[in-house]
Amino acid sequence: MSKRRFFALEKYGAANLITALMLLLFVGCTQQDGARVADNESDRGKRLVGTEAMVSSAHPLASEAGLKMLEQGGNAVDAAVATAFALNVVEPNMSGIGGGGSMLVWNQENEEADYVDFYTAKRADSYKEVNYDQYGEDDFNLLSTGIPGTVDGLLQALERHGTMSREQVMQPAIQYATEGFPVYMTLAQFIRDEEEKLTRYEGAQKTFYPDGEPLDVGETLKQPELARTLKAISESGASAFYEGENAQDIVEVLNDAGNPAAVEDFANYEPQWDKTPLKGSYKGKSILSAPLPQTGMYIIQALSLLEPFNLREIGLPTESAEAFDILTSTMRLTNADRREYVSDPNWEDIPVNELISDEYISARRDSVGMGTAAENVGFGKPSQSVSHNDMGSVSEGMTMASVTNGKTLSSSEKTGGETTHISVIDSEGNAVSLSTTLSHVFGSGAWVNGFILNNSGFDFSYLEEEEDWESSHPYRIRASTISPTIILDENNEVRLVIGAPGGGRIPTAILQNTLYVLEYGLDPYDAVLMPRIFPDYEEPDVEIEKGFDPYVLKNVRDMGYDIQALSEGYARMYLVMQKNGKVIGVADPRHDGEVRGY
């Protein structure tokens, strides 16, 4: 059987094993060698096992694009870039070339990590004279829109770490935009829900509301304008987006809606490669995650707080009130620190080394698992500050980027903030964890040349003093909860690639799924199915998904937690695990994504 063939989706138990073997035998006898075995119906493309490579993303066509690169000999970066451009087309409500994001890359041969921050940025000098008081709360403007980083970030990552050409990796996206694809239920719902955004600009209205009616499930969405823009980028590179007619068109739309961005802001924009991944550890595993102003600090802090606890022996939080308390109190502590300290490291100084130091973590751990829910959890106060130019070593060849005080400037805690995520492992053990976003659903709604502009820019109205405008960098990036993460085993080989969309619930969901895989030893699909906990740090309110033992809920309520029901569907996980010669890809069944691999 060819290595390109999909492996039958694993299930546990003898009966299921026999069924899987019979399926393989049947397919092997009836299909040509090299054909792909269909996914097990019960998993509907959400879980796949292979031995070589895997892509997990929020749409099957996007995962197919990544798989195509892998099958043609490309590496994890080639696959991730192709998947990302494809998602810009088939999931336009969540991401697009008008948005931004970040990518964490692991090179297995060199055992090195690299990180590029291409999140939406705004050049400070362009906003110093803006009169924010001229706009009422309900007045439309595009002041929240920043310079999109997706195109330059993806193409620079391809040039640095990929092996394929722009034309190759962008071909699937151009094809999907040109030929169209069937509108699926989630996209149809968002199109209906966002009528005001999608009918404000003629191009968006023609695309999503042809003949004045929203595109419905099963109808074909074609995006010829976007196809032309993508084709220009594939032929000429990032300059086709950040210079010339396209940049002028964007600036004109922004200026017409009160945003003073200039053509020079686009021409001078650069993704930031100088932020090395944060690094922590958990019971022998190395944790690589996003530096600030993204939120890897949360993941590392939380896992460090939890490391001494034998949670596997205590029990799952769905079955043990003690485990529920330990996990929930940890998340409240790290949420408090995140809201206080996360912001752009080029603009403010934060003691990042101390925030994830053993001494600080040990002191904060005194408030974990007390058996009584604190009414309010405050942020911690490390003993000394570290300049953003003082990079503390965490291991050979790796340093930690610093962080800065974001306070209320960080991204929304609401579930309405939307994003997308891609996880990839290739046959050489290289890996990519990549998150991109428009911020809110369909971003700002502003339409230019086939794509929608973000509303992810930093809000300069918060800067009240002249000294607040002083920085070592001309562009400012707002705080974001995206947290692309890669976990290595004791041999420095990739164990888990993980990330999620979901606004303020992203880091808590990543933490819980990481624990279920590393600590409890759950299959990654079972880990994703586990009901989640989303606590508030300012109050003992805890939102949960269904699936907790009612006696556990009674006991934690007696501890002082105010348990509240949570609707499903947020912080959808896309992950790939590598272990014992197998690669297991999982796409969260709460959403439309699927995995592809071999």
Residue list, annotated binding site: 459, 480-481, 503
What is the dihedral angle through the alpha carbons of 573, 578, 582, 586, rounded to the nearest 10 degrees?
0
Residue matched to tokens 């690589």: 288
Instruction: Give the span between the Cα atoms of 598 and 582, in whole angstroms.
Output: 10
Residue matched to tokens 């994504």: 593
Q: Tell me, what amino acid is at 545?
A: E
Beta bridge partners of residue 1, listed in sequence order? none
The answer to whether the beta carbons of residues 181 and 248 sit under 8 Å apart is: no
Ramachandran angles phi, psi of 9, nearest 5°: -70, 125
The answer to whether the beta carbons of residues 575 and 496 sit under 8 Å apart is: yes
Q: How many other β-carbons are positioned within 10 Å of the β-carbon of residue 141?
A: 17
Q: Tell me, what amino acid is at 71?
A: E
Q: Which helix (H) or strand (E) holds 499?
A: strand 494-499
Instruction: Give the span between the Cα atoms of 256 and 387, in whole angstroms.
Output: 39
Q: Determine the 3-state secondary structure of 100 from DSSP.
A: strand
Q: Tell me, what amino acid is at 575?
A: L
Cα dist from 57 to 66, 416, 477, whole Å: 9, 20, 25
Instruction: Give the span between the Cα atoms of 289 and 292, in whole angstroms.
Output: 10
Cα dist from 27 to 6, 19, 35, 50, 417, whole Å: 11, 12, 9, 16, 43
Beta bridge partners of residue 421, listed in sequence order? 435
Query: Would you state the structure tokens that stand for residue 218, as one six-digit string?
Result: 């099963």
Alpha-carbon Rg for the chain, nearest whole angstrom, is 23
Q: Which of 120, 295, 419, 508 is catalytic?
A: 419
Ramachandran angles phi, psi of 363, nearest 5°: -65, -40
Is 419 catalytic? The answer is yes
Q: Quote the strand ranges of 272-416, DSSP E.
A: 278-282, 285-289, 393-395, 398-399
Residue matched to tokens 């096992």: 49
Annotated binding site for L-glutamate: 459, 480-481, 503
Q: Which residues are catalytic?
A: 419
